Structure 1
């Protein structure tokens, strides 16, 4: 049984992003995806300009990859931009029956779950649909809370939480990298509810890992 994660996403309010920044936007998503391959082998493909799809080999890492993709995108927003870059993402966890060199023509349960999730996402920016009803039931409420927190992240908060979650970088190291005080980084991570996001990610990972045993 080949269970993988699929993330289908699109950039929020992409029509308002300056034409000059379009290449930077796509390059930023690609760069973050390349960095996130430290968590799992993954493949990303863009379609319709501002939409993208990822296949993630490790389903238990798929949520962290989606959250960090949003954090990475927010942190790369140009300073002159009136709004922070973000993306809506629907995660599907299930079997993949057919894979092609082109992700968009691949097929299987995970693709269907992810596609349905994005169709039904509404005003939310993160949804998860897995092949297991009990997992979906548990994650429904926590995902709504986590999504609300992530949507509210500022560029500075996202910039701080990204290395903290991806590389377990210490507050002192993050402070040195961005030429800020450790106290300032601590405040940013506190405001971003880093500890709650960690609990959420760990619970998701545990639930999926148990199902894969």
Structure 2
């Protein structure tokens, strides 16, 4: 079982590509190598392969990376399934994970994050949860996005350490994390990981 994330950047032409593209690439490089594990195509679309366990956290982190730019956002579809054909380029590989990701991406309407797996009940619950979370995520400021990114990088980091790293007051960090829905994100990731361990 693998996970495939298909995504495209919303409003990619409103920000300088020379600024946001290296930041996106840097995050993708933490996941794997180009073009075996990830590839950017058509200028503002990408596909990447990861493990089912890491998929949702990776998607959240990519969201934080792009929402640090005021007008940018990203639409992503996570597909979980088999990989029946491995190619040199991830965009040429095949299998049910790729099909699920592609179909899920085509079905995205107002949502900017959804998942399609072989388990229908799991899909229904998780997509509902992601829809609700989106009400908070859509209102992230670039500062909130950066704060969530740093917090997801290392969930053991204290608010005091975050305040020092980002040169902000600890009380501001605490309030911002609440407003940005960090606790809810951690709960969703925890639920997701528990279910994935049972299902995979």
TM-score range normalised by the length of the shorter chain: over 0.9
The counterpart of 2:26, out of the listed 9, 15, 31, is 31
Pick closer, same or farther for the CA change 1:87–1:72 going to 2, 3 Å: same
* Map of 1:6 onto structure 2: 4
* Map of 1:80 onto structure 2: none
Deviations 1:54-106 (A, max 9, x none): 100x201100100111112222x2xxxxx432110000011111111111110
Return 5+ residue gaps in structure 2 as ranges.
none
Compute the TM-score of the two structures, normalised by the length of structure 1. Answer: 0.87
Deviations 1:26-79 (A, max 9, x none): 211111223456xxxx922001110000100x201100100111112222x2xx
Helix, strand or coil for the counterpart of 2:37?
Answer: strand
Tell me which stretches of 4 or more aligned residues in structure 1 moved more than 3 Å. Answer: none
Pick closer, same or farther for the CA change 1:84–1:170 going to 2, 3 Å: farther
The counterpart of 1:163, out of the listed 150, 166, 173, is 150
RMSD: 1.5
Return 5+ residue gaps in structure 1 as ranges.
78-82
Pick closer, same or farther for the CA change 1:199–1:29 going to 2, 3 Å: same
Helix, strand or coil for the counterpart of 1:92?
Answer: strand
Distance in 2 between residues matched to 1:84 and 1:137, nearest whole Å: 30
Contact 1:4-1:95 within 8 A present in 2 as well? yes
Compute the TM-score of the two structures, normalised by the length of structure 2. Answer: 0.92
Distance in 1 between residues matched to 2:187 and 2:93, nearest whole Å: 33
> Alignment length, in residue pairs?
196
Distance in 1 between residues matched to 2:158 and 2:73, nearest whole Å: 25
Distance in 1 between residues matched to 2:95 and 2:30, nearest whole Å: 26
The counterpart of 1:68, out of the listed 58, 61, 75, is 61
Question: 1:200, CA displacement in angstroms?
Answer: 0.8
* Map of 1:15 onto structure 2: 13
